[in-house]
Amino acid sequence: MSIFTKIKNAILGRPLNMPSGGAAPAPAVAPAAAPAAGAGQATAQAQPQPQPAPQPQAISEVDVARVLEERAAAQGQQLNWRTSIVDLMKLLDIDSSLENRKELARELGYTGDTGDSATMNMWLHKQVMRELAANGGRVPAELTD
């Protein structure tokens, strides 16, 4: 599993657009009516009518800041997840080592110098927030700009 996928799943929960059981439910079919005694031929030929499948519910966006604030409060640590990719990863119990951050940078298409970890880390934080927003998260503008 990619590092970004771990981050996304830790914040947004299960993958979006996937029912909890993993498969789409089968459409419901109305039960066939029992023919009445002495009913004509038209009733005997009645077929069960499929019911329309329920329309998928729109998935509401996940409030990323609220999820992270609640998680930080529960852990009781002072982590600056709003600006630090290292603290964000620590908050999510994901290895925040330089090697893992370099891997995350590769996953997200970083083209800068990975030897300049300060610049890479700032880019990573913004890009992670943008990717979360693109994947169903509601992210405050100040975290993506």
**Residue 96, both tokens:** 């925040």
Name which of 92, 86, 95, 93 is nearest 122 in CA terms: 86
Position 72 pLDDT exceeds 50: yes
User: What is the overall mean pLDDT for the chain?
Assistant: 80
For 56, residues 6+ apart whose C-beta sits below 8 A from its C-beta are: 17
Task: Give 8-55 pLDDT, tens digit per residue.
Answer: 999 998 554 443 333 333 434 444 455 555 555 555 556 666 655 554
> Long-range CB contacts (< 8 A, 24+ apart) of 22-29?
25/54, 27/51, 27/52, 27/53, 28/53
Flag whether the pTM goes above 0.75.
no
Q: Rounded to whole angstroms, how far apart are CA atoms 57 and 17?
A: 9
Query: What are the phi and psi torsion angles at 15 (to 5°)?
Result: -55, 140
Separation in Å, CA 48 to CA 31, 34, 42, 111 = 6, 11, 13, 60
